[in-house]
Amino acid sequence: MAHSSNRPQPTSIRFGLILLLAALALAQSLVTRGVRRSLRLMATSLLVAAFAETLAIRSRLLRHHTFPQVVDVPLTIPLTWYGYLVPAYTLAQAAVGDQDPRMVAAVTAGLAAATDLANDPWGLASGFWEWRSGGYYMRDVIGVNGIGGIPVANYVGWLALGAIVARLSERNRPNAEIQAARRLRTVLLFMYWFLSLGGLVWAAKEHRWRLLVMSASAVLGGGGAAWYAARPENFDADELL
């Protein structure tokens, strides 16, 4: 375990940056699915994320150092979940939206979780949060409390949250939404890739090459595969009109 002098100091995620991320997600959502369904997706994401964070905090699994907070949940966290889930969900719609909604939920879950492979170690090392008992993943990344690693439960949570929000949002979804997502597939791809930039840059600066390669492969490969699956050649010409 690292000496205390090597531990990060408690710090907050920049609220303005999170607002920008959420605003970009909302703008993309409005273009893709219109006002009513965009507001429904936002409400679903925020409520599910707030519930999941509250559960993690109340079970003493996690502690945040970002303010302002409401009942120990930073206001930025549900907004962050929303900003991450919308590009992943919409890219999943573009890739497999004409199949079973359960497939959309599964792809959304995988894409969303992949973004956190490098981002959570980066957040832990930056002092944004701490894991009370640590975990087996990235055990040499030490939190503010002097405990290293990220628990598997974190990634189970990402998978579950992504799947739940996508599955709920797929109810009564019009076909035009899938067509709009496919027309925006390249924009969606770059929005999705951008989500992991902070963690990937941190991994490179810290010379964590294994983490960098693994997380970059998951994000670039997963997003690229979804983009490729959504290409126009896969569909009838009148589908994209």
pLDDT, one tens digit for every residue, the chain (241 residues): 343 457 888 899 999 999 999 999 999 999 999 999 999 999 999 999 999 999 999 999 999 999 999 988 999 999 999 999 999 999 999 999 988 999 999 999 999 999 999 999 999 999 999 999 999 999 999 999 999 999 999 999 999 999 999 999 999 999 999 999 999 999 999 999 999 999 999 999 999 999 999 999 999 999 999 999 999 877 665 444 4
The domain ranges of the chain are: 17-240
The answer to whether 137 touches 150, Cβ cutoff 8 Å, is yes
Give the separation between CA 57 and CA 43, rounded to whole angstroms.
21
Specify the pairing of strand 129-131 against strand 62-64.
antiparallel
- pTM attached to this predicted model: 0.92
Which residues, 6+ apart, have CB-to-CB distance to 203 below 8 Å? 118, 121, 122, 209, 211, 212, 215
Backbone angles phi, psi at 163, to 5 degrees: -65, -45
Beta bridge partners of 74: 69
Q: Rg (Cα) of the chain, in Å, rounded?
A: 18
User: Exposed, middle or buried by CB within 10 Å (0-12, 13-18, 19+), for 212?
Assistant: buried
